[in-house]
Amino acid sequence: METSVLLIAIFTGVIALSSVALLGALAYLAVFAKKLIDTSVKPAMASVNSLVDKVEDSTERIMDVSEDTVRKVSGAVKATTHVVQDSVTSPLISFSSLLAGISKAMEAWRRASAKS
| Segment 54-82, tens digit of pLDDT | 999 999 999 999 999 999 988 888 888 88
Could you please report the per-residue DSSP string of 58-115? Answer: HHHHHHHHHHHHHHHHHHHHHHHHHHHIIIIIHHHHHHHHHHHHHHHHHHHHHHHHHH
For residue 47, the Cα-to-chain-centroid distance in whole angstroms is 20
Q: What is the pTM of this model?
A: 0.46
Report the alpha-carbon distance of residue 10 to residue 13 in Å, rounded.
5
Q: How far is CA 110 from CA 96, 98, 102, 114, in A?
A: 21, 18, 12, 6
Report the alpha-carbon distance of residue 102 to residue 106 in Å, rounded.
6
Q: How confident is the model at residue 114 (pLDDT cuts 50, 70, 90)?
A: confident
